[in-house]
Amino acid sequence: MISTIFLGKSEQFGKMLPTALMALCYAGSFYPVAVVGIGLIVTGVVLVQAFSTSTAH
């Protein structure tokens, strides 16, 4: 919500400070989602390796 407020105050990206704050807020809002996604990928790889019945070469 804060980034949306800064989006309006940036006046079509003409003002530098509100534009930078908007970009930081949007990046900060997607960071936790990215961390969860990476955690799910790592968990999946660990589970596949742990329960794999194939032998190594």
Per-residue pLDDT of the chain (57 residues; tens, 9 = 90+): 899 899 999 999 999 999 999 999 999 999 999 999 999 999 999 999 998 887 666
Q: Is residue 27 part of a domain?
A: yes
In angstroms, the Cα distances linking 8 to 2, 14, 17, 46, 55 are 10, 11, 12, 44, 58
Domain that residue 8 falls in? 2-51
Q: What's the rounded Cα separation, in Å, for the pair 38 and 42?
A: 6
Q: Is residue 56 part of a domain?
A: no
Based on the structure, what is the number of domains in the chain? 1
**Do residues 22 and 3 make contact, with C-beta atoms less than 8 angstroms apart?**
yes
0.75 exceeded by pTM? no
